[in-house]
Amino acid sequence: MKIATTFKDGQISDHFGRTESFKIYEIEDNKIINSYIIGNDGLSHGSLVSLLVKENVNVLLCGTIGTGAINILNDNNIKCVPGTFGNSDNVINNYLAGNILQKPNAIHECNHHKE
């Protein structure tokens, strides 16, 4: 399984549509076996999903995100966990342990993400 986080300076970046990079974690037996960082290839908002699909990501943990991007993630069988925050490595370990913390109101209505 692969889990991605929006990523900047070791932290989960706040807004999915404006993230500059993703940290991808390869998971086996509920443990991280590898991780790496990819850039956003100049994409934004819903178009970013294509990067996650290319990397075979199964789950995305992010800060805020629009409903349009969530729909595109769902259409590509990527589970979205919005409202996560803090150090990316710590958040992944907490997610794997079932102890994920999420901020409320992390999903917003967006109708301009049709790309």
Into how many domains does the chain fold?
1
Q: How far is CA 36 from CA 7, 10, 60, 98, 115, in A?
A: 11, 12, 14, 23, 26
Flag whether 28 is in a domain. yes
Flag whether 93 is in a domain. yes
Q: What is the pLDDT of residue 110?
A: 54
Digit-coded pLDDT (tens) for 31-60:
999 999 999 988 888 789 999 999 999 999
* Region of residue 56 (left: phi > 0; alpha: psi -120 to 50; beta: else): left
Q: What is the pLDDT of residue 101?
A: 76
Higher pLDDT, 34 or 111: 34
Digit-coded pLDDT (tens) for 70-87:
999 999 999 999 999 999
Instruction: Give the CATH number for residue 77.
Output: 3.30.420.130
pLDDT score of 113 more than 80: no
Flag whether 114 is in a domain. no
Flag whether 113 is in a domain. no
Digit-coded pLDDT (tens) for 1-24:
999 999 999 999 998 999 999 999
Flag whether 42 is in a domain. yes
For 48, other C-beta atoms within 10 Å of its C-beta total 26
For β-strands 65-66 and 79-81, DSSP reports them as unpaired
Percentage of the chain exceeding pLDDT 70? 92
32 lies in which domain range? 2-108
The answer to whether 4 and 39 have CB atoms below 8 angstroms apart is no
| Residue found by looking up tokens 């100049």 in the block | 42
pLDDT score of 111 more than 70: no
Flag whether 91 is in a domain. yes
Flag whether 7 is in a domain. yes
Flag whether 22 is in a domain. yes
Backbone angles phi and psi of 19, in degrees to 5: -65, 140
